[in-house]
Amino acid sequence: MNKLAFFKRTSYYIMAIFFYLSYLFPVNKKKILLIMTHDSSDEGNVGSTYRYFQKHDPNLIFKEVTRDNYTFKSDKNLFKNLIYMFISVPYHMATSGTIFMDNVFLPFSAVKLKKNTHLVQLWHGTGAIKKFGLDYEEGWVKKLAVTTNKNTTHFIVGSSWMKEVYKTAFGAEEDKIFNTGCPRTDIFFSKAALQEKRDEFFSSYPELSGKKIVLYAPTFRDDEYHADKIRIHLDIDELMSNLDDNYVLFLRLHPRIADNINLDEYTGQDQNRVFDFSSYDKLNTLLICCDIMITDYSSIIYEYAIMEKPMIFYSYDLSEFEKSGRGFYEDYKTAVPGPVVFNTEQIADIIKNYPADEYNINKFLDIYLENCNGNSRKRLYNLLMI
């Protein structure tokens, strides 16, 4: 076990000590702990659930955990973060009536919750192309994830298809999986909410109003943790030179990629047409405002599909990903609702002549988002609160 793994496991045991000390206090059914370690915005599954629950019951009390809380840097927040994560968070874990997670929060592997506590896995995605969770994890992380998942009382999905995936990805039992729909998808069924997001975005970026927006949002590869693998695989200069001046490109890269590249090296003469939105925290807003999306194995295709806008699947490493990467839950080329391409020239051609009639988006929605229809948060609220 390396030093980082040792530190993490030790921290979980320290949290467990304060958790069990907090057993002396009763569970407050009106208190909800929001664990947002993947997406702390109000557009994620946890954030959108919080807004709905807060609106429907003003007496609820909310506490939260985000990545910022366990960034233990040597600055003025270090002591505050240590106290919060090792004393306050265990107390809230032990005394909250409901706990929402958008990831597998491994500190739960070291404790046993009281019987009247709901531990709810909302996850951060709506569907899954590539394998995740226990279907690809290994070693001590997988072992702790198994224990955490056994502690989980509710797994929330948006389709019968995803319910089957959760049985292996989380080792979840049938009676713990609830097909109530994914909370973050509700916004896509409200014309007023969609327009509000567009207005909000273009009021902040008026120069982009009226432009044709292409969003490039690739998934993160596990081997990209190694510095020599970090690069943008899209030829941005070639793409933009093949599109007219009304097109602009939005980049939505994983933080590790965005933080370790010099974007100027990729944009060439088109710097005024390329915009880096990698740190922009409202992913749904970007999906709503763009006109066409280029991605590969990312789960954001499920939310995007609801709007029935064009998608291009730039899978430059498909063979390698199938063989030595995480792999897929089904045949990739037949499952995705758009053309699969392998180079930038193909992308430019398809943007200019998108073959919409070749892809049955309604069939895709029926299979993967059958219970995502604008009422997911309502059903979740009725499941847990009534």
- The domain tally of the chain equals 2
pLDDT of residue 170: 98
DSSP string spanning 6-51?
A: HHHHHHHHHHHHHHHHGGGSPPEEEEEEEEESS--STTSHHHHHHH
The rounded Cα 111 to chain-centroid distance in angstroms is: 26
Tokens of residue 376, six digits: 């997911």
Residue ranges making up the domain that contains 93: 3-181+373-385
What is the separation, in whole angstroms, between the first and last Cα of the chain? 45
Task: Pick out the chain residues at pLDDT < 70.
Answer: 1, 74, 224-229, 267-270, 386
User: Does residue 32 sit in the same domain as residue 143?
Assistant: yes
Rounded to whole angstroms, how far apart are CA atoms 40 and 51? 12
For the record, the structure tokens of 106 come out as 């491994």
Same-domain check for residues 118 and 229: no
My answer on whether 18 and 96 are in the same domain is yes
Residues 152 and 214 in one domain: no
The predicted structure's pLDDT at residue 227: 60
Q: What is the dihedral of CA 224, 36, 1, 259, to 10 degrees?
A: 30
> In sequence order, which residues have a C-beta less than 8 Å from that of residue 275 and are 6 or more positions away?
208, 248, 249, 250, 251
Say what the pLDDT of residue 261 is: 79
Shared domain for 20 and 57, answered yes or no, is yes
**Block residue for tokens 């965005």:** 258
pLDDT score of 52:
98
Burial string for 358-372 (b: 16+ CB within 10 Å, else e) reads ebebeebbeebbbbb
The position carrying tokens 């910022």 is: 68
Sign (positive or negative) of CA dihedral 166, 172, 175, 177? negative
Look at residue 127 in the predicted model and tell me its pLDDT. 95
Q: What is the dihedral of CA 169, 171, 176, 182, to 10 degrees?
A: -10
Q: Is the dihedral of CA 307, 311, 315, 319 positive or negative?
A: positive
DSSP for 72-103 reads --SSTTHHHHHHIIIIIHHHHHHHEEEEEESS
Are 365 and 381 part of one and the same domain? no
Tokens of 81: 């973060």
Same domain, 192 and 169: no
| CA–CA gap between residue 272 and residue 250 (Å, rounded) | 11
Asked if residue 174 and residue 258 are part of one domain, the reply reads no
Considering the domain architecture, whether residues 141 and 203 belong to the same structural domain is answered as no
Cα separation, 175 vs 159, in Å, equals 15
> What is the per-residue pLDDT for 357?
85
CATH number, domain at 340? 3.40.50.12580
Whole-number pLDDT of residue 307: 97
Tens digits of residue pLDDT in 283-315: 999 999 999 999 999 999 999 999 999 999 999
Together in a domain, 231 and 311: yes
What CATH number should be reported for the domain holding residue 30? 3.40.50.11820
Which of 86, 105, 70 is closest to 14 using CA atoms? 86
352 in the same domain as 264: yes
Looking at the structure, do residues 64 and 124 belong to the same domain, yes or no?
yes
